[in-house]
Amino acid sequence: MKQKLTIGLAQYKFINKDIPFNLGQVKKAMESCKGQADLLCFGESFLQGFDSLSWDFEIDKDMALSQDSPELQQICTWSREYHMGVLVGYFEKANDSIYSSCVLICDGQVKANYRRISPGWKELDVDAHYQEGREVLDFSFKGRDFRIALCGDLWSEGWEQFATERVLLWPVYVSFTLEDWKEAEGEYAAQASGVADTVLMVNSLSDEPDPVSHGGTFCFEKGEISRKLAFDEEAVLMVEL
């Protein structure tokens, strides 16, 4: 018999270029979910904010974070204190490259790091400092198997490589209007159905730039929305597996 596992999808607000605030949001969510969530997931590029890069590497290299940065080490410390894993999106600095990445931290350590494969996170004319990853990432957490996709990975050419029998974690950043979400919910559910039976999508809240992000956090099961959070609400969707 499999052990019960609870995944928390944290639809929290970030502020672009304000890493201390966003890091504080991670801690706030962890405190609110202590003893409830085994793994807490945040949206794409949450630690810096999706619109935090200037596309000038000399500037952006100071905004991006390495895997051994003090900020990620702080989350490592909290993961021990709260007995909780964290999956969080960030702009990663590795040597002379920047990636849109997602890091898994648990038991006080960086356990896995996924680099977005699709190029839609960056401007079209940026230089070679801004890179994509090349490998799909699978990991196991407390006896359950997962795969990660970041936002446009499931919409770009080659999205079929993410198809899996595992649970798919799908951190995104999208800023649809509330009117557009009425149609987009179904489109995202349908796209998820071609990838995995269970897809957990988490989006962030943001007041800037225009248009704002109203969130959009869902549990998709076999192409249907089984659970979701209200738009414009800072909350955590708990999904028991």
Number of domains in the chain: 1
> What is the mean pLDDT of the segment spanning 3-9?
94
Task: Write out the residue range of the structural domain in which residue 14 sits.
Answer: 6-240
Local confidence band at 2 (pLDDT 50, 70, 90 cut-offs) = low
Local confidence band at 241 (pLDDT 50, 70, 90 cut-offs) = very high
Q: Is residue 220 part of a domain?
A: yes
d(CA 8, CA 1) in angstroms, rounded, equals 22
For the domain that residue 158 is a member of, what is the CATH number?
Answer: 3.60.110.10
> What is the mean pLDDT of the segment spanning 142-168?
97
How does pLDDT run across 178-210, given as a tens digit for each residue?
999 999 999 999 999 999 999 999 999 999 877
pLDDT > 70? residue 105 = yes
3-class secondary structure per residue, the chain: CCCCCEEEEEECECCCCCHHHHHHHHHHHHHHCCCCCCEEECCCCCCCCCCCCCCCHHHHCCCCECCCCHHHHHHHHHHHHHCCEEEEEEEEEECCEEEEEEEEEECCEEEEEEECCCCCCCCCCCCCCECCCCCCEEEEECCEEEEECCHHHHCCCCHHHHCCCCEEEEECCCCCCHHHHHHHHHHHHHHHHCCCCEEEEECCEECCCCCCEECCCEEEECCEEEEECCCCCCEEEEEEC
> What is the mean pLDDT of the segment spanning 44-71?
97
Q: Is residue 1 part of a domain?
A: no
> What is the mean pLDDT of the segment spanning 63-73?
98
Residue 90: the pLDDT is 98
> What is the mean pLDDT of the segment spanning 105-132?
96
Residue 1: the pLDDT is 54
